[in-house]
Amino acid sequence: MREPRPFCLGGRWKTSTSTIPVINPYTREEVARVCTGSADDLFMAAGHAAAAFRITKTLPTYIRRQILHTIAALLEERREELVDALIAEGGKVRKIADGEVTRAIETITISAEEASRITGTIIPLDRTPGGAGHTGHLIRVPAGPLLAITPFNYPLNLACHKIGPAIAIGASFLLKPATATPLSSLILAEIILAAGYPPEAVSVIPAPGSVADAIVGDERFAYLSFTGSPDVGWELKKRAGKKKVSLELGGNAAVIICRDADLRYAASRIIAGGFVNAGQNCVSVQRVLIHHEVYEEMTAGIISELRALKIGDPRDPTTDLGPMISEEAAAVAEEMIRSAGARVIAGGIREGALLHPTVLADVDPSLPIACREIFAPVILLSPYRKEDEAFSIVNASEYGLQAGIFTDSLETVQRAFSALDVGAILVNDIPTFRVDEMPYGGVKGSGTGREGPAYAIAGMTVEKMLVINKR
């Protein structure tokens, strides 16, 4: 019988009688068994985090920076192990799994660089007579321990986006990874401890959402960083109490194809953005709005690009699209396609957790499938006549994470930038584009706050003022 893998509680590895299997979505085999934490374990982790914060907040910048560089080096050293874990636990295809490890290393490295950029400023206070003879010194200090909750789709890099900035500022943390994909986070815990971060400051505990809900309101945590579904995220924000909150939630990202767009290039990018990670991405291309004069040509180009995708075993380095996280998730997406009321021109076939890349054409933007987040390898094509119509369709969504527009017109770009209610607009690229130093986050139902190490650091810190009377 497989020995259950322990979790990390205040730097110590702990077993429990409660365990969960980790299932390979492609083979449907159990690849590991992991101990899960109880509510008591999470509350103990909060106590460890509060105690350790007194130590971590005093660590010199150069020590925090060195620890982060060591973490990055150890991630590289254990690259193959991490790639195999990402494939086994999440069904991620090898090239995407390897890319996620690369991005995790970059995220941690950027966090190390940003640790040296946490600076202060001097504020003259004599602009009014009452401030004469006084000078202000303003610095940023860590708000307190971090509670981080991460999803299954990018379990390593999204954990690094929360933990990297936390270490950069000198904060202790509790990470609760998704129960479907805990292996990469547990390896990350081993790496952080090996890099020399104070052990009591480190807790990584897989736990069911129902158990984790109890810890969200614990005031020993000063900051909650959550990435996941909108329903869960907004509910957690209600329970978070006085702590600062960052939410990275869902989306149904749109791309606008103008009649002056480079259609061949746009088609290749749409395929990349719609089907990467089996469409399980908050900024996966979902809605493609195409000017009616180029609609048929663009549709043909998308189908041509789609035919080049290799579908199947994620362990094969040549595979482009593997399974979704579970057969249940794939079945939900299959039912959404079946009941969409739109024309399926590619895909729509499911084999277990493997949903073939699917394209729906002539989709009415008001259909339920166009208004929801599908989170699957499905893209929807809709024609439009005027740019203002396309802008209105994009904005009709309850979400507002990122959007793309393909055009050579600077005037159109400026109008789109002014009109679209999203966190970022990508010109001549897809909304799926993200590099890890950029500010990333949405508006409306897509969340609040921004990720990217520099921006996460700003969120996790507070301003502290010293006023000196020079007399």
Q: Any alpha helices (H) in 260-326, and if so which ranges?
A: 263-275, 295-306
* Cα dihedral value 404, 406, 410, 412, nearest 10: -70
Active site residue 248: yes
The edge-to-edge listing of strands for the beta sheet with 402-406 is 343-346, 358-361, 378-384, 287-291, 254-257, 402-406, 424-427
Instruction: From 423, 358, 415, 359, select the one nearest 390 (Cα to Cα).
Output: 415
410: number of Cβ within 10 Å: 9
Distance between CA 53 and CA 47 in Å, rounded?
10
Whether residue 6 contacts residue 14, with contact meaning beta carbons closer than 8 Å, is answered with yes
Q: Quick one: DSSP state of residue 321?
A: B
For residues 47 and 201, what is the distance between their CA atoms, to the nearest angstrom? 10
Q: What letter would DSSP give residue 102? A: H
Burial class (CB in 10 A: 0-12, 13-18, 19+), 217: middle
Q: What angle do CA 316, 328, 333 make, to 5 degrees?
A: 85
Q: Is the dihedral of CA 224, 105, 84, 3 positive or negative?
A: negative
Residue 471 tokens read as 């007399």
Task: Give the pairing type, strands 30-35 and 19-23.
Answer: antiparallel
**Who's near 296: CB < 8 A, 6+ residues apart?**
none
Which listed residue (248, 305, 373, 387) is catalytic? 248
User: In terms of Cα–Cα distance, which of 268, 284, 302 is closest to 373?
Assistant: 284
Query: Could you give phi then psi for residue 252, rounded to 5 degrees?
Result: -130, 70
Query: Rounded CA gap, 160 and 110, in Å?
Result: 11
Q: Which residues contact 17 (CB under 8 A, 6 or more apart)?
A: none
Distance CA 7, CA 188 (A): 11
Largest CA distance in the chain: 78
Nearest in space to 413 (alpha carbons), one of 389, 435, 387: 387
Distances (CA, A) of 200 to 3, 68, 185, 274: 25, 17, 17, 41
Among all residues, which ones are annotated catalytic? 248
